[in-house]
Amino acid sequence: MTLAALIAAYHEADEPGGGLRATLPLAGRTVLERQARLALAAGADLIVVAVERVPAPLLEAIDRLRAQGLKVVVARNASEAAEAVHPDDRLLVFADGLVATETHIGRLLAIGAPTIVTVTDVRVDDRFERIDAHSRWAGLALYDGEMLKRTASMLGEWDLQSTLLRRAVQSGARQLSLRGEPADDLLIVAERTDDLGELQQRILEGAGGERKDWVSRYLLGPIERLAVRRLMPTAVTPAMLTLSGALLTALGGLAFGSHWLALGMALVLMATPLEGISGRLAALRMQENDPESWLAHVLPALSGAALVALAVGLTVTRGWGGVALAATTIAFVFALRTEVKGHIVPGGHWLAERKGMTWLLLPFAAAGLWGTGLTALAAYAAGSFFWAQRQVHRPVPPIIAD
């Protein structure tokens, strides 16, 4: 069975300027886009948006989702929604304005059978539909396509999401009750922009994740966070940022090869935060970065080429020893990446990688000690490799039975 998602998008927001709950702004996009991304992450192949009218902000959000490759169907009534879904499909339902987490959806899908996520009545207000005297619908449910078709056939003028809920309760669907765990604080039915303020801050903080390299963790982090805040409402994509970093690195390599060493250094330094900004923006918008895509290999390759170009540019005054050092550095970095793949190495964020090595070269470049800087990079790469090799191949102490 495939998974489809049904997202209600027809309730008016409680905002002075009007608009829909689905188009309330959240982390630079809309609530609807967040819901669709959550459904996609859960494995949904189809997103059905139940609407009564399609104002411009909603249409723009749907167009952005389609441009990113999501299959989105607009259903103006229950019959159109039912026609889009196969009877055997599992149907993940989001209440209008609901913002949930992947944890909630994962727990729901793990049950498999038709299930309603509920919350105790004392913890929420009337934005959450009442089920009985003690519980309310948390805004998330798992039905099947057949239930949607049966409901559509008798719906008339009734509210689709509410009618589906009533039929599910009457048919004995399971109820998954939330018990006040930390993740439950992130489950919100938003009626106005103010409802999303704290949640948006948490999303922004979580988008950084745990930085894997020391330069992003301790040096570039503030720059990356500031840039993401500025870029999140724009049309800039993570791919654009990665390509910009590749372009700057390539230009830096050309400058090195043309003996414009200071310009080359400035260009490769400017490229270093762009990969981190791209990753944070992708996490913010719930867009996965494919580690095996060609873009993931472009920056390391261009960085290596820029290092070789620098070494070749230095041959006029310092001979060919720098080229040997550059080749040695690249060989050790490649061996290091191969060695640590699939392993967690203690102190791994201190190991040699292109951004950290670029910043390590800066003080030597400022002092005009380019040859010494190349030697330091080679030593750093070699030391990182041997440290990682020792940690990966460290013998596991035998377990001595009592």
- Domains of the chain listed by start with CATH number: 3-199 (3.90.550.10), 211-392 (1.20.120.1760)
Helix (H) or strand (E) holding 174: strand 174-177
Average pLDDT over residues 215-222: 89
Instruction: Check pLDDT > 80 for residue 206.
Output: no
pLDDT score of 197: 85
Residue-wise pLDDT tens digits, 223-255: 998 999 899 888 888 889 999 999 999 999 999
pLDDT score of 157: 60
Quick one: pLDDT band at residue 120, thresholds 50, 70, 90?
Answer: confident
Please provide the average confidence, as pLDDT, over all residues in the chain.
88
Determine the Cα–Cα distance for residues 337 and 252; give it in Å rounded to an integer. Answer: 24
pLDDT score of 398: 58
Residue type, 156: G
The residue assigned the tokens 């720098």 is: 322
pLDDT score of 293: 67
Single pTM value for the model:
0.79
Average pLDDT over residues 97-110: 91
**DSSP secondary structure code for residue 234 in this structure:** S
> Beta 72-75 vs 44-50: how paired, if at all?
parallel
